[in-house]
Structure formats: structure tokens, C-alpha cells
Structure 1
Amino acid sequence: MPWDTLLAHNVNTAEGPRPKLILPIGSGRTGKSFWSRWFIDRAAEHRSQLDIIDGDTINPGVAPLYKSALVPPAFRGDQPPWFEKTIESAVEGRRSALLDLGCWLFDDWLAELPLAATLEENGVDLIAVYLLTPDPYSLPRIPYLLDLIKPPRMLIVLNEWGFEADKACAAFAPILANRVLTAAEADGARIVTMPHLDDAEALDAIRALRGDGVTGALTDRPVLSAWLNRMDVNFAPIAGWLA
């Protein structure tokens, strides 16, 4: 998108709540797609208008599950302008969007794009959601992403998947003490825990969810219902970021 053109539209930011651009970030097997599915389901339950943009052309995590998901064209050269036009459409329509950039997150195209500044000028909140497991291999990416994207708000989600609660606490202790994470927190990042879910059938139910807006059946499973309640409690302090 020609970002100066978007700025020239001078969107009236005083009308209604500010839309959000939610940017889930995470290495493989950190739970990025799983968290995204929870967030999409949550938005549907709150009847919040949300564009789903799955730009991960290598390993799409949400597009196979949601009929309404937007996906980029197959030709790589067409993808950057497609992202720009798609974001522009959401901004002009005052719609919130969940955007998975996939491999484009580390492309020079994004580095040259004043994403955070342009969204702010147009009254859109940019929130980076960074998924972490106890493995420290992805920690060094945090300062790079903070410098690259410059998100005004950054949410760090500790994914306890695969750990019982007492073991997860010990497993994440070195991560929480790491200077990379403490520096990000000092800069305003918020840390939230995504609790362990040990019902494999419940997990399969979430993975089988289709984008038809029907979500109530999932809450019929007691273990899943309890997990969803814990998610609501854990994310309550930053609910305003995701509303």
C-alpha cells in the first residue's frame, strides 16, 4: 500500500473504539497458531468484527480452519502489495485484524515499512503477541522484532503446553530471568501465561473448528471449558489490548 496515501485519508480516529492489528509471532511449535485460534474464537463469541489474515504461505495455521481467512496470492512477488492492500482495507473499514506474516516477518520489505507509525496515525493499535516456550532459542528475536516493528504494545505469552503447572513454573524460571525478557518487560511488554491443556480430544476439537461462527459446542467439554475460563482470567489484565 502507498502508506502516504493511506495517511492522506486522515481517518477520523475519534469515532468509535480503536481497531487493532494483532500480530502473533513465534517460532515453530511455540503455540502461535493455537493462540490465534483461541483469539479468533474469543472475538466471535464477543461478536467482534475481525479480519483473519493468514500470510504464512509455508505452514498456514489458521486458514485451513476458517473459511473467512484471507490468504495471499501464490506468486511471491505479488505478496507484499497484497499485504499492504489487505491491511489498508481493514484500516479504512475500521476493522480489527489478526495478521500472521509467516516468513515475511523477517523480510526487507517489512523492515522498510513504517507499519507502527502509519497505523498509529490512522488510529489503529498495533499489538505484537510473542509466543514463548521454555526453550530459550527464540529469545534473541525479541529485541530484533522490537526494533523492526516498534509495536507500541507487546504481549509475551508463556505457553505451558506440555507441562503440568508446577513443572511449567520451574521450566520458565530461566526464561523469566533472562535479560532479554526483563529488558522487554522494562520497556512495557506484558507477560501472560497460556495454561496447559491436557485433554487431547479437547485440543483436537479446537483444531477441528471451522470458521462458521459456531463455537458453543466446544464449551460442552468440562476440561476445555475450565481451560477457557483460565484463559479469560489470565488475559483479563490486558483484555483492553485485545478487545
Structure 2
Amino acid sequence: MLQDSEVSSYTRPSIDAPVFRDANGQVIDYGNRWSGSPPEDTYSVDTHPERFAPVHTVADALIAHLRDTYDVAVEEGEEMAADLLHPAFHDVVRAVRMRPSDAACACLTLVFTAYPGVYMHAGLLNDFHYPVCGCDACDSNWQAEADDLERQVLAIAAGHYRETIERRGLDPWVGYSFTLTDGATSAGSREQGLSLERFNAAESILRKLPAGWSEWPRSASTS
């Protein structure tokens, strides 16, 4: 479990959240729109993608926090988006890679898209999207996406992130798990469509990390 001291120095910035209204002028309460199954005509419809713009602000704050708190090299440039396993679906407007000074720690890259959204490449073999889907049926809001981004980024820095690999026939499967601030575990497994070369290179590293990635070293000013 993460300790309070590990996350207490990070504070979400103040967000002037946008408000959106439907055709009748009523405020759209994203995240609470459907009491049951969403209407069929809301699938594949993305009425207000700009509602996720605050996730960019949160990602900015996380980058500043990690840069100031940990001993990391920070590289910025759209070419850093090449760290993603698969290209972003939308135009990349910014990409930042953070590489801890200890090779036993997971690197992470945050990619900002024009959608607006954020992609994260974490460690060697996993990408995460915020949001995964912004369609009206999924009904996600920026707060939920920011919550996930913060919890997962802070878990990586605290050394509570693990990647696992498994060969299932010809296809490599990749697993991941986060231990979050409340002690809960978020985990998943999927076939990534990886090249065998990339999988083999990662396998040789991850086999040496059976307990997962290590906690990032603190910067001299915070240690």
C-alpha cells in the first residue's frame, strides 16, 4: 500500500471545469447520465470531447511533481510519442518522457493529444489511455480520467507497478498491476500485437524484476 507521505506532496491543480448543456439547455451531468443501458444512438457518438481538456492540466501538474520530487531525466518532444506501442489515434501535441536514474525503475511517457486526451506508456510493454473511450454511451468525465491518471502515475513512481509476460502459443500476452493509494489493486492482461523482437527484449529485463519495478529515487532536494 502507498503511504500518505508518498503522495502528500502532490496536489491536483485548481480546475475551472467546463460546463456543457444539451439541446434543452440542461447541464449534462457526465458520468451520471444513464441509470441503465445507454441509448443505442449514443454509441460511437462523441458530442463534447473537449470536456476532457482538464486532463491535460492534471498531466502537466504530474510532470512538474515528478520532475521536482524524483531523480529523473526529463525529455520533451513529439518524437517521444514513439514510445507508445501503437500510434495515437489523434494528433500528438506534446510528449514527455521521464526516465529515473535507477534502471530498476519503470520509465513513463505522457503523450498529449489534440482530442484532447493523454496516453501513458509505462515501463516496457503497456500503454494506458485517458480516456479509453469518450463516446456518449461510455459517459466518462474528466474527473474519473484524472483520478485514474493520478493514481497510476503515482503508483509507478512509488514502485507499485508490475508488468508480467506470458507466451500463449505464438502470441505474447502482457499483464500489469498497480497497487493504488487505498491498497486496492488494478490489473489486466492482454495480447498487445507486439513484435517478437520487442517482446524478447522486454522479457530479459522483466525476468529480473519478479517483484515488479522499484520505487523511483528521490531527488537530492527531497531525499
Q: Above 0.5 in TM-score? A: no
TM-score tier, shorter chain, comes to under 0.3
Larger relative helix fraction: 1
TM-score (norm 2): 0.28
